[in-house]
Amino acid sequence: MTEPDSPDRMSQPAAGVVESPWQVLLVDDEPEVHALTRLVLGRASFEAKPIELHSAYSAAEARRFLAHHPDTALVLVDVVMEADDVGLALVRYVREQLGNSDLQIVLRTGQPGMAPEREVIQHYEINGYFLKTEITAQKLHSIVIASLRAYQYIKSLRPPHGTEGDRPPTAAQGAHQRFLEQTLLRDIQGTEPYLLAQPEVHLASDVIVGIELLPSWKTTQGVLAWSHVADVIRDPGPRLAFDQWLLSQACSWAESWQSLQSPPLRVSVPILTEQVSDPGFLDMVDRCLAAVPLPRSMIDLAFPEAILLDKHTATCDALGLLQARGLSVTLIDFGSGMISLPLLRRLRPDRLKIHRSFVRNVSSDAERSAVARSVVALAHTLGLTVVADGIATELDLEFFKWEGCEVGQGDVLARSIAVSDVARFVASRTDVTH
């Protein structure tokens, strides 16, 4: 079997197929793997749609394909190809540079020692990890169908665009939403979440000044990140319960990290609750803080910009009460919504986190650099700290340093790690710095 000039030429849809087949990409440098996979999936389908299999023999080919085919649902990736970690680098390319969080990524490896499963699952946003020796024909078919189901599920969480999104949901859509919510609640309430930590780095000094908690669940619908939980669960009761669990975790970990450095690390907690002015939310925060003796300044509550657009007066008052308790407040995904300058002045968060879409490739994109520069200038005018989330290259890092952005997150600064490894990681960074 000869290699094609490009992955697009590898797969021709069969005559008479229906429109919009599932797009699946196989990335492996062994031609026999492609031949066997094509044999197994030759007539496979899901939800009455055929599976169209494409092939790439290197990570470079895969990058080109995925950049031009954002509708790809699943990619099966060999870890070791032209380099030992090229498959892992491809994962980061998809998640960080392409910003594609919906694509299902399943790693397959014949050399588990090069990429131990536990470390890979903790550090990389993947949806599956398998040894090549354990994948039978039936197992491969099951992996693909389960991944397509998860992709379909994640896509169903996205709000419709355009005028369709402004129409009230139909009875069928409402029933489907309730089914998704019940399924998700059942899955995540019975599953211990992965809890990762994303370091926040002071750009001028390269010192870690904070930790953002990143929880996710392995469910029957695939790995579900915290942001996807917010997409589907609308009931304020479960949202408040999830916030209480995560804030309790944050307080506990913050207490254990107090002695790592001075001033101590700020622990940032993403919040799901929309009604932040609800007395039940404020009571929950007080209970969590009272359970652990630690400076309130160590806890940061991060709210998405979108949930602060309604009930302006009550929301501003609630944020003021949280700040009066000594907590800091971060407004995340800033730049993606339509929040007004007068409202921002009234909200007065302590920090603004620039949306990742304006951080990636900022050094080479004039439009993104203009937006990022404007956000930094606006924040500084209001006396707010700026956090750039998703810095992936040295050039982008230099841009934010030059513009006076105080804090950054991203692979070029520090990878996400297990919360249990934070103390060791901070100590190692301190040793290197000094």
The lowest-confidence range among 63-72, 168-177, 205-214, 241-250 is 168-177
> Strands, E, within 299-420: which ranges?
299-304, 328-334, 351-354, 385-389, 407-409, 417-418
Beta-carbon contacts of 355 under 8 Å, excluding residues fewer than 6 positions away, are: 333, 334, 335, 336, 389
The more confident residue out of 400 and 306 is 400
Overall pTM surpassing 0.85 (yes/no): no
Q: For residue range 23-81, what is the model confidence (pLDDT) as tens digits?
A: 999 999 888 889 888 888 888 888 888 999 999 998 889 988 998 888 899 999 988 78
More confident residue, 19 or 380: 380
pLDDT average, residue stretch 87-103? 83
Average pLDDT of span 150-158 = 73
Instruction: Give the model's pLDDT for residue 174.
Output: 65
In this structure, how many other beta carbons lie within 10 angstroms of the beta carbon of residue 284?
18
The answer to whether 24 and 144 have CB atoms below 8 angstroms apart is yes
pLDDT tier, 1 (very low <50, low <70, confident <90, very high otherwise): very low
Question: What CA–CA distance (Å, rounded) separates 386 from 142?
Answer: 45
Q: When comparing pLDDT for 355 and 289, which is higher?
A: 289
For 319-355, write each residue's pLDDT tens digit: 889 999 999 999 987 766 556 667 777 788 999 998 8
Q: What is the pLDDT of residue 274?
A: 80
Identify the burial level of 96 via C-beta atoms within 10 angstroms of its C-beta, where 0-12 means exposed, 13-18 middle and 19 or more buried.
buried
Percentage of the chain exceeding pLDDT 90 = 25
Mean of pLDDT values over 372-390: 90
> CA triplet 137, 142, 146: central angle to 5 degrees?
155
Buried b (16+ CB within 10 A) or exposed e, 345-354: eebebbbbbb
- Domains of the chain with bracketed CATH: 7-157 (3.40.50.2300), 184-433 (3.20.20.450)
**pLDDT for res 176:** 62
Percent of the chain scoring above 70 in pLDDT: 79
Instruction: Specify burial of residue 410 (Cβ count, 10 A radius: 0-12, 13-18, 19+).
Output: buried
Kindly indicate the confidence band of residue 159, based on its pLDDT and cuts at 50, 70 and 90.
low
pLDDT at 220 over 80: no
| Stretch among 6-10, 34-38, 292-296 having the lowest mean pLDDT | 6-10
Say how far apart CA 385 and CA 381 lie, in whole Å. 10
Of the ranges 122-126, 176-180, 368-372, 406-410, the best mean pLDDT one: 406-410
The model's confidence at residue 98, banded by pLDDT at 50, 70 and 90, is confident
